[in-house]
Amino acid sequence: MTTKKKKDKKYNITLAKPWFDDREAKSAAEVVASRWLISGPKVAQFEKEFAKKIKVKYTIAVGSGSDALLIAQQALGVTEGDEVVVPNMTFVSTATSSMYLGAKPVFADIELKTYGMDPKDIEKKITKKTKGIIPVHYAGQSCDLNQIIKIAKKHGLFVLEDAAEAHLAKHQGRYVGGIGDIGIFSFTPSKPMTTGEGGMITTNNEILAKKCKLIRNFHDVGKFEWSELGFHFRMPEMMGAIGLVQLKKLSKAVAMRHAVAARYSKALEKEPAVITPFVRNNEDINFQLYTIRLNPDKLSITRDEFIHELELLGIQSRLYYPCLHRQGVFKVFGKYNDADFPNTINFSRTALSLPIYPDLSNEEADHIIYSVRQIINKYKK
């Protein structure tokens, strides 16, 4: 494509887009026709197929990834006065889910390769009140899980994998979500597969699986017999039906994301003003996001200004995610010091995610590459 065409054509490229065809609509219509709308055979089959796909023994389908985080922690025994170590850079419910159980989320800094939790900082945050660790596989990239599990075993802590973004990503040959004590996935529209909303709990522990199933359904042990605290966290049948279709397309969807990411990296990895994503190996990342960091020493504009420049060129981009310790919801735990989280602060000032999804065309990807280079050339120091 010529430069002239790139300048003349108007683009409107969103950051994410679900990959649907008529199969999802047909599957959803079958549910409506069946009139079985909550936790029926489609959800049960979705659970079974998802377990088979990522090689775990037990799966529990729920209403969202945030539901899954809350249920899993309740099953693990998190309660009032406990502390749970979480990364300072992640979606908010990784941390707030503990608060619903009366526990305190304790923030650990990230490391600047995978953008997962820094194991060295986790050690510093463990106290007598610590109950567990929730590592996040950010942007579909498996974090330093082995080291985190070693720390957890040393201190007698649980490991709850937040694999909300990491469908089919592996760590040392094993699918994430099935390596720690328990794992969770999300199926919101930006994920490699979606059910609209929806989430999945994954584990190889039968006792934890049974507890999660009870909590998901009001902790109903019989017909209107509630022995402990539970709530309505069930997955609607239509989500299960759509999930079955999406699951069949998941491997191809991840491969298509890899193709977009490879195109970006080939064009941008030698650009001094940009730090492209670290890739340990292709199995360990699904490119749920394609996150770059800007080198402030090479540019005269801020990250937010860079995002605005992309927007003017018809490209949506965004910071995923801001520092949690600066969010008002956590003020109840006192003041935090930015100096305790140097890598998270660095990330929050320099990172942005570019559009990536299966339907992104080569022409659109090339326009994004061209635009990034154009902005760099315009504002380079």
Which residue, 190, 214, 245, sits at the end of a domain?
245
Q: What is the pLDDT of residues 253-289, one digit of tens each?
A: 999 999 999 999 999 999 999 999 999 999 999 999 9
Do residues 329 and 224 share a domain? no
The confidence band for 127, taking pLDDT boundaries of 50, 70 and 90, is: very high
292 and 191 housed in the same domain: no
Cα 30 from chain centroid?
Answer: 30
User: Are both 47 and 161 inside the same structural domain?
Assistant: yes
Indicate the pTM of the whole model: 0.95
Q: Give me the pLDDT at residue 112, please.
A: 97
CATH of the domain at 260: 3.90.1150.10
Examine the residue annotation and report whether 153 is marked as an active-site residue of this protein.
Answer: no
Asked if residue 227 and residue 169 are part of one domain, the reply reads yes
User: Mind listing the pLDDT tens digit for each residue in 206-220?
Assistant: 999 999 999 999 898
Query: Could you tell me the residue range of the domain that residue 54 belongs to?
Result: 22-245
Q: Do 128 and 147 fall within a single domain? A: yes
Last residue within a domain, chosen from 207, 224, 245: 245
Catalytic one of 104, 191, 211, 249: 191
Domain match, 340 and 272 both = yes
Instruction: Quote the number of domains for the chain.
Output: 2
The beta-strand segments (E) located in 272-346 are 274-275, 290-294
Q: Are 203 and 210 in contact (CB under 8 A)?
A: no
- Burial class of residue 24 (count of CB atoms within 10 Å of its CB; 0-12, 13-18, 19+): buried
Q: Which residues pair with 354 in a beta bridge?
A: 290
Residue 137: helix, strand or coil by DSSP? coil
Alpha-carbon distances of 157 from 34, 108, 129, 135, 216, rounded to whole Å? 45, 15, 10, 12, 24
